[in-house]
Amino acid sequence: MTEHATALDAGLASCHTCLKLEPVAARHCGRCGSRLHPRKVDSIQRTLALLIAACILYVPANLYPIMYTDQLGRSEASTILGGVILLIELGSIPIALVIFLFSVMVPIGKILVMFYLVWTVQRSTLDNPRQRATLYAVTEFVGKWSMVDVFVVAILSALVHLGGLMVVRPGIAALAFAGVVILTMVAAESFDARLIWDKADETHG
């Protein structure tokens, strides 16, 4: 057995439910009964499908209004970028930057990074597996914070209703944006990061 031997080389698989190591030949986990898979089934195909769906939803999430403000019989629609610009004009630059970062940059960045990781695995790229694994871990962690825009709309709706001054209603973009976040989160979970190391281990085996 080489220095770079893996659990798979030893005929072991980690249960995706309870993380217990079991012999691959066992087929099922002895602790929780889940079916054992040395690698996530159809990881690349499922990740790509989810990313493509997220890209499709990202278009209406940014083009359509994320919220409507009703005041004195007049309704005003705001998109994500429109809300950021409005906050800047009102002097709330820090809040505008937070929303822009987590509602615009993070979803785009996560989608691009996941496409890059899928591409490198499919091309059997051997360069910098440690950096790519770290990039995946950071992307998986940061991506969970990109729901902030939906939270902002929900909080604004509650506060404004309590104040009785106006009515804030979520728009269709809020639903589309929530879909983007959920799809990218599931895509990250579907991607098997161990595939990054498989090719590198083969070359050093």
Per-residue pLDDT tens digits for 142-158: 766 666 655 665 655 55
> C-alpha distances in angstroms, 83 versus 19, 60, 97?
43, 15, 11
Q: Is the pLDDT of residue 2 over 60?
A: no
11: Cβ–Cβ under 8 A, 6 or more apart, which residues? 23, 24, 25
Q: What is the pLDDT of residues 93-108, one digit of tens each?
A: 887 787 788 778 888 8
Convert 124-137 to b/e letters by CB count within 10 Å (16 or more is b).
ebeeebeebbebbe
Show the domains of the chain with their CATH numbers: 1-38 (no CATH), 42-204 (1.20.140)
Read off the pTM: 0.73
Distance CA 102, CA 12 (A): 39
Coil/strand/helix, residue 123 = coil
What is the predicted pLDDT for the residue at 113?
Answer: 92
* Contact in structure between 173 and 79 (CB atoms under 8 Å): yes
CA 181/CA 149 separation, integer angstroms: 11
Cα R_g (the chain), whole angstroms: 22
**CA nearest 202: which of 140, 125, 150?**
125
Q: Which of 79-83, 167-171, 186-190 has the weakest average pLDDT?
A: 167-171
